[in-house]
A = this chain, B = another copy of it.
Amino acid sequence: MSSPRQPDQSPGPGAPGPRGAAFLLAQIGAHAAALFAERVAELGLTPADVGLLRMIAGRPGRSQRALATDLGVVPSRVVALIDNLETKGLVERRRSTEDRRNHELHLSPEGRHTLTRVSRSAATHEDTLLAALDPAQRAQLTQLLELIAAQQELTPGVHPGYRQSPKRS
């Protein structure tokens, strides 16, 4: 960082602001999420949709309840999300023969195809976001982020944007 503070005559909007890595992580993270949302919107999907498709692809046949638990959301929300994906023909609900209360979730062929398109979008997205860094720096960054993620016990592949919001007094 070149100048640690610029009291009054600052060029920007004038936040005296936080300069730490924690703020940068939150700021860039939100920016990255917004960019990604724009990209997948071109495929008619929300980031939540993408997360669900990936979860189902990773473990076909799992129940909605299991999904809700893993994502940390309430079951009724999963219903709405899956409804949407089923309407688009990307996901199929199949009554379990073992326990007829369960719905086994599977990707349709079109769902799988969509997921590969998402992967291409994600690759382009990554390249755009990290344009400032050369390959060595990208590897370095990834390594540091993985250290943080592990220590903070973040579940690999699960974006915390699903979590149910805490009570506010």
Contacts and interface: CB of A to CB of B under 8 A. Distances in A.
Copies, count:
2
A17 B28 CA distance: 20
* A interface majority secondary structure: helix
Nearest to A55: B15
Interface of A: 1, 8, 10, 12-34, 36, 38, 41, 51, 54-55, 57-59, 62, 70-71, 122-123, 125-126, 129-133, 137-138, 140-142, 144-152, 154-161, 163, 166, 168
A30 B34 CA distance: 12
Contact of A29 (B33, B125, B131, B163): B33
16 contacts: A12-B158, A13-B59, A16-B157, A17-B54, A20-B122, A21-B138, A22-B122, A22-B125, A24-B145, A25-B25, A25-B28, A28-B29, A30-B159, A141-B141, A141-B144, A144-B144
